[in-house]
Chain A
């Protein structure tokens, strides 16, 4: 024992959420001191611990995953362990808190602690949870293999407290043995050789000391995995599963979508018939009902998408998909941990970007953030469906695969491929760094819990409807106003009628009616939105878009689904008052430009889908990127590079398609 200090010093080290603080509180009682380490905001907690009569000062180190000393927490922990932290003597013993439910991950830190030459005693937490999960640990075997004492502890019941104190006393002055072999000079050592040596050792330790009561389940899972994670067949099955999912989304959602469509159409007609004609009726029918209804009809597809995502996640297949993609992702330089944030981005890029916080390296994390919005989020689904529904409904490949489902799979696949290419470029230019290794645990397959699945769908439906009732409603009203103001005054219409009567040789009533019809058709053209659309038309004309679509593209920068609302309002505004509400799909198909030509073609539909896939059109995502990267540089870069990419791709597709005769 080091005699330079009177009392003993014991450091408590462990992963975040391993139960370290609960154990610290249980061992020190209420006599702990909380302060900051000098000069930094990392919390320093210490308190007295009675070790069977001997007083010790227990230091709670910051929660750590490793001791690579790349983060502030790791640097401080390392300084405390080697005795370089001012005011804290070098620890006599380290108590490593290990969460038994995450044994592999927690033991990685322990293997690093062995290398400091300070005796280590392991406190094994969460044993009750682990046993509930039908697993068992042979504590003695674990201790033998790790060559250190291992004590199961339960902070709530004080289980193992005395034994832990006894083992700590016994360990003082001993020298730990590094239980795994690593030869840095070996030819195959490589840059990550030591990391692999630690994980190989951990894997052997866990295999020899942990039993799974659900072993039969694991054996079946292993057999299924031989096929589902196969290099070639695994990928074929993955594509097949995705195709099946989107085929189902399309065919199953059709009936409820048609019903919702008719319901909103009926509501529009009923409202127009019940209310007196005027500006308020126009706002309610063409602004509110058309705008909100246009988005709400896609609820069945959103629900089905989340039904399948939940089923795939709960059954354990999603982890296999991650495993299949990991090889590809590590080849382009993305961290294996990037897969889950990217998968979350299929629902929405915001939780996906927030989920990147689990990636340790800043460069790996930023690369993932920069490519996450390429994953087709649920807000793009209504736009894809609108285009597919308008131009590709009822078309089949090989007699049974619907072109719509195929196009949808392609949109998702193009998003993933673009994300991979973008990450490849970023990791070799702006965010250059070697990819760290990644170890992944595949859970056994199981029957999905229907309650969890439906709960997830319910939550998603709630969020979607909340957005429709707040953000989409607000934007629909503002868009309607932008498309309807400035309006011609009655005096201007009367003057126009007098002018018409002078030239057309018609009755005053006929001239008045003609003036009012002209005024109505001019509303959109001369409205604020119409003027904005006209202003940007020269820029978007090469992509095949006219000023009306320009309004839609601009409005979609608030939220992508607003494009559908805008189209819905746009094609309601220019319509004759007496006409019945036609479906949005027919509105898009039959829309004509100022010369009476059809605006939309299947080629333009595909180009629009690609624009929405590539362009960064979500202000909320940009706000989160700003927050998560702590700088405006990254969100502005994201906006610029994604918008440029969208423009270039759509230009190439539209002009190329036209040259080939598809225009």
Chain B
């Protein structure tokens, strides 16, 4: 395996890891609860 191939595989590995961690990460930005309407159904 050439050095270029090793670098490419490492980059792809990092991208897959980053992609998966992004997908399963808890979406903190969505937890802002402002102006929740009455009986809005959001489980407040």
Residue numbers of A with Cβ under 8 A of B are: 16, 64-66, 70-71, 73-74, 278-281, 283, 350, 354, 356-362, 365-366, 470-471, 473-475, 477-478, 481, 619-620, 623-624, 627-630
Residues on A with C-beta less than 8 A from B23 are: 619
Among candidates B2, B32, B40, residue contacting A360 with C-beta atoms closer than 8 Å: B40
Contact B35 A16 (CB under 8 A): yes
Pick the most buried of B5, B7, B19, B38: most chain A CB atoms within 10 A of its CB: B38
A473 (CB) vs chain B CBs: closest residue? B15
The answer to whether residues A70 and B41 also contact, given A283-B11, A350-B30, A478-B16 and a CB cut-off of 8 A, is no
Pick the most buried of B2, B27, B33, B40: most chain A CB atoms within 10 A of its CB: B40
Residues on B with C-beta less than 8 A from A70 are: 38-39
The answer to whether residues A65 and B11 also contact, given A354-B30, A478-B16, A627-B30 and a CB cut-off of 8 A, is no
The answer to whether residues A354 and B32 also contact, given A474-B15, A477-B12, A630-B43 and a CB cut-off of 8 A, is yes
Pick the most buried of B4, B19, B37: most chain A CB atoms within 10 A of its CB: B37
Contact B42 A283 (CB under 8 A): no
CB-defined A-B contacts under 8 Å, sample of 24: A16-B35, A65-B38, A71-B39, A279-B2, A283-B11, A357-B33, A357-B34, A357-B37, A357-B40, A360-B39, A361-B37, A361-B39, A365-B40, A473-B15, A474-B15, A474-B18, A477-B11, A477-B12, A619-B23, A623-B27, A624-B27, A624-B30, A628-B42, A630-B41
A276 (CB) vs chain B CBs: closest residue? B4
Min C-beta distance of B21 to chain A, whole Å: 10
How distant is the Cα of A471 from the Cα of B25 in the complex, in angstroms? 13
How distant is the Cα of A628 from the Cα of B37 in the complex, in angstroms? 12
Residues on A with C-beta less than 8 A from B40 are: 356-357, 359-360, 362, 365
Residues on A with C-beta less than 8 A from B39 are: 70-71, 360-362
How distant is the Cα of A350 from the Cα of B42 in the complex, in angstroms? 14
A628 (CB) vs chain B CBs: closest residue? B42
Min C-beta distance of A515 to chain B, whole Å: 20
Contact A357 B42 (CB under 8 A): yes
Residues on A with C-beta less than 8 A from B22 are: 470-471, 474
How distant is the Cα of A630 from the Cα of B37 in the complex, in angstroms? 15
Residues on A with C-beta less than 8 A from B4 are: 278-281
Known: A357-B40, A365-B37. 12 other contacts (CB 8 A): A16-B35, A66-B38, A278-B4, A279-B5, A354-B30, A357-B33, A357-B37, A360-B39, A365-B41, A474-B22, A481-B12, A630-B41
Among candidates A73, A283, A366, A481, residue contacting B41 with C-beta atoms closer than 8 Å: A366
Min C-beta distance of A427 to chain B, whole Å: 15
Min C-beta distance of B28 to chain A, whole Å: 12
Residues on B with C-beta less than 8 A from A74 are: 38
The 5 closest A-B pairs by CB, nearest first: A71-B38, A630-B43, A477-B15, A362-B41, A280-B4
Residue numbers of B with Cβ under 8 A of A are: 2, 4-5, 7-8, 11-12, 15-16, 18-19, 22-23, 27, 30, 32-43
How distant is the Cα of A30 from the Cα of B22 in the complex, in angstroms? 44
How distant is the Cα of A359 from the Cα of B37 in the complex, in angstroms? 5
B37 (CB) vs chain A CBs: closest residue? A360
Contact A279 B41 (CB under 8 A): no
Contact B8 A279 (CB under 8 A): yes
B29 (CB) vs chain A CBs: closest residue? A350
Residues on B with C-beta less than 8 A from A278 are: 2, 4
Min C-beta distance of A588 to chain B, whole Å: 25
How distant is the Cα of A356 from the Cα of B38 in the complex, in angstroms? 11
Contact B37 A280 (CB under 8 A): no
Among candidates A73, A360, A478, residue contacting B15 with C-beta atoms closer than 8 Å: A478
How distant is the Cα of A279 from the Cα of B11 in the complex, in angstroms? 12
How distant is the Cα of A360 from the Cα of B41 in the complex, in angstroms? 9
How distant is the Cα of A473 from the Cα of B16 in the complex, in angstroms? 11
Among candidates A280, A358, A362, A624, residue contacting B7 with C-beta atoms closer than 8 Å: A280
How distant is the Cα of A218 from the Cα of B36 in the complex, in angstroms? 32
How distant is the Cα of A279 from the Cα of B41 in the complex, in angstroms? 51
How distant is the Cα of A212 from the Cα of B25 in the complex, in angstroms? 50
Residues on B with C-beta less than 8 A from A360 are: 37-40
Pick the most buried of B2, B19, B23, B33: most chain A CB atoms within 10 A of its CB: B19
Among candidates B8, B15, B34, B35, residue contacting A280 with C-beta atoms closer than 8 Å: B8
Residues on B with C-beta less than 8 A from A474 are: 15, 18-19, 22
The answer to whether residues A358 and B38 also contact, given A471-B22, A474-B22, A623-B27 and a CB cut-off of 8 A, is no
Among candidates B18, B19, B27, B35, residue contacting A357 with C-beta atoms closer than 8 Å: B35
How distant is the Cα of A619 from the Cα of B41 in the complex, in angstroms? 21
Residues on A with C-beta less than 8 A from B18 are: 470, 474
How distant is the Cα of A475 from the Cα of B23 in the complex, in angstroms? 12
A471 (CB) vs chain B CBs: closest residue? B22
Min C-beta distance of B16 to chain A, whole Å: 6
How distant is the Cα of A529 from the Cα of B3 in the complex, in angstroms? 25
Min C-beta distance of B42 to chain A, whole Å: 5
How distant is the Cα of A474 from the Cα of B15 in the complex, in angstroms? 5
How distant is the Cα of A360 from the Cα of B7 in the complex, in angstroms? 54
Contact A478 B12 (CB under 8 A): yes
How distant is the Cα of A471 from the Cα of B16 in the complex, in angstroms? 11
Pick the most buried of A278, A357, A630: most chain B CB atoms within 10 A of its CB: A357
Residues on A with C-beta less than 8 A from B12 are: 477-478, 481
Residues on A with C-beta less than 8 A from B16 are: 478
How distant is the Cα of A73 from the Cα of B36 in the complex, in angstroms? 12
Residues on A with C-beta less than 8 A from B43 are: 630
B32 (CB) vs chain A CBs: closest residue? A354
Residues on B with C-beta less than 8 A from A481 are: 12, 15
Min C-beta distance of B13 to chain A, whole Å: 10
Contact B8 A283 (CB under 8 A): yes
Residues on B with C-beta less than 8 A from A65 are: 38
Min C-beta distance of B5 to chain A, whole Å: 6
Residues on B with C-beta less than 8 A from A366 are: 41
